[in-house]
Amino acid sequence: MTTGLLLLHGFLLDAEMWEPQVEGLHDALPVLAPNLPGFGGAPLAPRAGWTDAAADLAAEAVKRAGWDRAVVCGLSMGGYVAFSFWRRHKDLVAGLILANTRAVPDGEAAAKGRLDLATRLRAEGNGFLAASPPPLLGAQASPDLRLRLRGSIERQPAEAIARASEAMADRVDSTPDLAGITVPTLVITSSNDAVILPDVAKAMAAQIPGATLVVIDGVGHMSNLEAPDEFNRLVREHLSRCQ
């Protein structure tokens, strides 16, 4: 039976954000990092059902790779897709890694902000977002990493970002799924995450039977990029629980 590691990327970026994990973990398991709809040159998907479409495309990639199952790792928006993957393709899931993400949906104000962002993207393009992105990185992140993230945002089509933003505003509450998760689950958060606060991740982890919770100290939302060695160590440990 072949098991691989499936990496689902975050908002505004594409699968290249997983380069430290693809390079650092390929010796442990086969690794796939697909681009979600519209990002990294992948075809767009409609707003309605976007998250489910992303999960289905990821499942197709797993099957094409000849894997029987995958340890599904989603960071931020990728975590929302991971929840959809769990609901729709349980038979393919050997384990879950939920990094800097949450199960709860947006509140009214946050959802409106996402919809307003989509409107502005369609009117202005993505330049304003690349110039002044959300606080994806902690204060100690290097200038080089900040430039890399800006370049990644600039590469993504404005319409792709807009549709993903709308899809996140529309997303369902995954909290009811937590108690029914039956595979080994690792929840990663970071002490300086200003996008999804650590307490939100901790509350989510507490509702998943047997989940392992780890807080990476001193980094922000993109924990896999700011602390790649520690992130990889945690993932490698978790893979051993999923065999």
CATH of the domain at 200: 3.40.50.1820
Query: Burial level of 142, CB count in 10 A (0-12/13-18/19+)?
Result: exposed
- The Cα–Cα gap between 130 and 1 comes to 43
- Beta-strand runs (E) in the chain: 3-8, 31-32, 69-75, 93-99, 185-190, 212-216
**What pLDDT sits at residue 114?**
98
Could you give the number of structural domains in the chain? 1
pTM of the full structure: 0.97
Cβ 142 vs Cβ 190: under 8 Å: no
Instruction: For residues 204 and 185, give the distance between their C-alpha atoms in angstroms, rounded to a whole number.
Output: 11
User: Which residue range(s) make up the domain with 163?
Assistant: 3-241
- DSSP-assigned letter for residue 134: -
pLDDT tens by residue, the chain, 243 residues:
799 999 999 999 999 999 999 999 999 999 999 999 999 999 999 999 999 999 999 999 999 999 999 999 999 999 999 999 999 999 999 999 999 999 999 999 999 999 999 999 999 999 999 999 999 999 999 999 999 999 999 999 999 999 999 999 999 999 999 999 999 999 999 999 999 999 999 999 999 999 999 999 999 999 999 999 999 999 999 999 997
Whether 183 and 242 have beta carbons less than 8 Å apart is answered as yes
